[in-house]
Amino acid sequence: MFEMAMDSIREETRFEVIGGYYSPVSDNYKKQGLAEASHRVRMCELACERTSSWLMVDAWESLQPNYQRTAVVLDHFNHEINIVRGGIATSSGKRKGVKIMLLAGGDLIESMGEPNVWANEDLHHILGRYGCLIVERTGSDVRSFLLSHDIMYEHRRNVLVIKQLIYNDISSTKVRLFIRRGMSVQYLIPNSVIRYIQENGLYIHETEPVKQVLSEKGD
């Protein structure tokens, strides 16, 4: 998703991508089937270490004693990058503010239309102040949803829909299911992450609701 977003930003906008962050949720998210936050943070770190020069992991969200809403997490990144650090240094030596955006799959975005899942004020905050990069997933019609959803349509100029040129419906829910069933996840996730899962015996004895397995809403 990050790489597809990078290509679209380069092709369709005048922005320069500085970096991307994984932000694993805390254990207080209480989603059945998830490993402990410390394991998920480490797996993300392993995935980034040898596969990317621009992706990083931020453990702040995972360490919070309470579940943090997406709007609050984006505020955290904005505060740390633009307020504490003053943005980034340019070639001239001056510092410049960075635009923070949420990267999400089409299925997560469609959950914004479900009752009692997202607060309207959070959607205005996320889409209006920061913006969103939406990667279409197989079977999701993000553009039609964008047209029909009042808040998303209001902020449509701050939303970039990324079309998959090579369709990919790999999800963490499906990977966990394969592991529980003793099936191979080779080439679906980095080898270093596969070894970590095996060494720590993750996901083997966990169960998840059937609805989550069939239609993941994001981790």
Which three-class secondary structure state does DSSP give residue 88?
Answer: strand
Residue 149 has pLDDT above 80, yes or no: yes
Non-local (6+) Cβ contacts of 148 within 8 A are 113
Helices (H), 13-66: 37-49, 60-63
CA–CA dist 100, 1 (Å, integer): 16
The answer to whether 173 and 212 have CB atoms below 8 angstroms apart is: yes
- Kindly report, residue by residue over 71-117, the tens digit of the pLDDT: 999 999 999 999 999 999 998 989 999 999 999 988 787 788 888 88
How confident is residue 212, by pLDDT bands cut at 50, 70 and 90? Answer: low
Closest CA to 35 of 200, 209, 186, 184: 200
Which three-class secondary structure state does DSSP give residue 97?
Answer: coil
Per DSSP, which regions of 60-141 are E strands? 88-89, 95-96, 102-105, 132-135
Residue 119 has pLDDT above 50, yes or no: yes
